Amino acid sequence: MGKAKAKAKQAKGKMKESAGKAMGDRGMQAEGRGEQMAGKAQEAAHDAGERMRKSGR
């Protein structure tokens, strides 16, 4: 997954968390935080892959 998609997933999660907070829906807030974490993990994996590729491995 590309870095742009990972950032989009983080943004979607942030919006979902904010909407859940506004509506008082703790489940939606938690789901949004989960999406943010998944996006951050995907971004980190992408960055690690790029570093590996650049190092010649």
Per-residue model confidence as pLDDT tens digits over 24-57:
999 999 999 999 999 999 999 999 999 999 988 6
Determine the pLDDT at residue 2: 87
Q: How far is CA 3 from CA 10, 18, 42, 44, in A?
A: 11, 23, 8, 9
Determine the pLDDT at residue 1: 66
Determine the pLDDT at residue 26: 97
How does residue 8 score in pLDDT terms, banded at 50, 70 and 90? very high
Report CA torsion sign: 18, 12, 41, 49: negative
pTM, full prediction: 0.84
